[in-house]
């Protein structure tokens, strides 16, 4: 998900571009040699400096790579051509529901109170689980697509993110506490790994876990590995749940997951979801990979496996 972005200066360093687009520095350098794009200038210290126009095109390239295009097929296209390809791919994948378009229009029009009221009304009608799966997840993807295509300004994306977090946090806090016996109620620590700043997927996962009757402790984003392990022990967690965006780096993510798993008590499971390639290209054997629609069933499976077991002591 392309969320939690921050405005950057007109001249982007290579680190800025990596954070903004999710494209690794090494990839940018290879493309520069192989495809003659991007073509950064050099600043007074000899470091690469990218223009706003180049970064906008790179955002579109990253979006199309996520959709399955190969770099060599799209690198010479203009930004407008890339935008048209992305729009065609979005239209072909699934039609956008009119209600989602309405929410997006409210965001574009800066009608914040109306957007919040509309989302709260949908939540009241659908309930937390269906609201998260049928409204928030596809709407967040739609907002991300619009931002990547240049159809939504950064500040408008921020408005959506803040509004959604307010609505979702209130809904999570309003959920009744689990009524099942404590031995059948999983306790879940939720967070993202260091350098993973995107938190909306984490919030959606928390909402679905709470709706499924779990006890959830959210650490927020970018928690150091040692702190995740410490929190799991202190909270007597049964599960550590992680969220990943497509911007996560494959090798770094794999290494971090291995380190985290080695530092956790053996009975603690690691669950993960999101758009990182690591989750779908040979994920570590210990990792439970699931999407939002699978949370409730996975929780039921966990309860069956642990029925009658006592919670580990401090």
List, for residues 175-223, the tens digit of each pLDDT value.
876 655 555 689 999 999 998 888 889 999 999 999 999 999 999 999 9
E-assigned strand segments in the chain:
12-13, 41-42, 48-50, 187-191, 215-218, 239-244, 269-274, 287-289
* Type and span of the H or E element at 313: none
CATH 1.10.1660.10 residue ranges of the chain are 12-87
DSSP state of 309: P
Mean per-residue pLDDT, 238-252? 88
Domain limits, CATH 3.40.50.280, in the chain: 182-305
d(CA 276, CA 281) in angstroms, rounded, equals 9
Strand runs (DSSP E) across 109-257, as ranges? 187-191, 215-218, 239-244
* 235: pLDDT strictly greater than 70: yes
Query: Is 314 or 152 the better-scoring residue by pLDDT?
Result: 152
Rounded Cα distance between 106 and 102, Å, is: 6
Distance CA 209, CA 22 (A): 28
- In whole angstroms, what separates CA 55 from the centre of its chain? 21
Mean pLDDT of 35-56: 90
| Cis status of the peptide bond prior to 97, with omega within 30 of 0 | no
- pLDDT digits over 8-41, tens only? 456 889 988 888 787 889 999 999 999 999 999 9
CATH for 98-174? 1.10.1240.10
Closest CA to 31 of 21, 203, 123, 274: 21
More confident residue, 79 or 259: 259
Assigned superfamily of 182-305: Cobalamin-binding domain (3.40.50.280)
Class of 12-87 per CATH? mainly alpha
């Amino acid at each position: 998900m392309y969320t939690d972005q921050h405005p950057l200066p007109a001249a982007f360093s290579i680190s800025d571009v990596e954070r903004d687009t999710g494209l690794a520095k090494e990839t940018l350098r290879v493309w520069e040699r192989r495809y003659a794009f991007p073509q950064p200038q050099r600043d007074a210290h000899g470091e690469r400096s990218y223009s706003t126009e180049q970064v906008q095109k790179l955002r579109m390239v990253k979006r199309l790579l996520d959709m399955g295009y190969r770099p060599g097929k799209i690198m010479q296209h203009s930004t407008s051509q890339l935008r048209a390809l992305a729009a065609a791919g979005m239209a072909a994948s699934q039609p956008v529901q009119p209600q989602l378009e309405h929410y997006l229009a409210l965001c574009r029009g800066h009608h914040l109170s109306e957007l919040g009221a509309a989302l709260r009304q949908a939540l009241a009608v659908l309930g937390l689980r269906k609201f998260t799966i049928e409204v928030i997840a596809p709407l967040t993807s739609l907002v991300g697509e619009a931002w990547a295509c240049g159809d939504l300004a950064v500040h408008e994306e921020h408005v959506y993110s803040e509004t959604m977090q307010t609505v979702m946090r209130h809904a999570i806090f309003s959920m009744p506490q689990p009524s099942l016996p404590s031995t059948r109620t999983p306790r879940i620590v939720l967070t993202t790994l260091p350098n993973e700043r995107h938190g909306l997927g984490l919030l959606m996962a928390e909402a679905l876990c709470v709706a499924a009757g779990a006890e959830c402790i959210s650490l927020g984003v970018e928690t150091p590995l040692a702190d995740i392990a410490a929190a799991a022990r202190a909270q007597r967690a049964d599960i550590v749940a992680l969220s990943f965006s497509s911007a996560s780096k494959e090798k770094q993510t794999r290494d971090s997951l291995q380190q985290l798993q080695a530092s956790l008590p053996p009975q603690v499971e690691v669950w993960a979801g999101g758009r990182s390639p690591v989750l779908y290209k040979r994920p570590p054997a210990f990792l439970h990979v699931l999407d939002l629609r699978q949370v409730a069933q996975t929780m039921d499976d966990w309860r069956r496996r642990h029925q009658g077991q006592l919670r580990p002591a401090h």
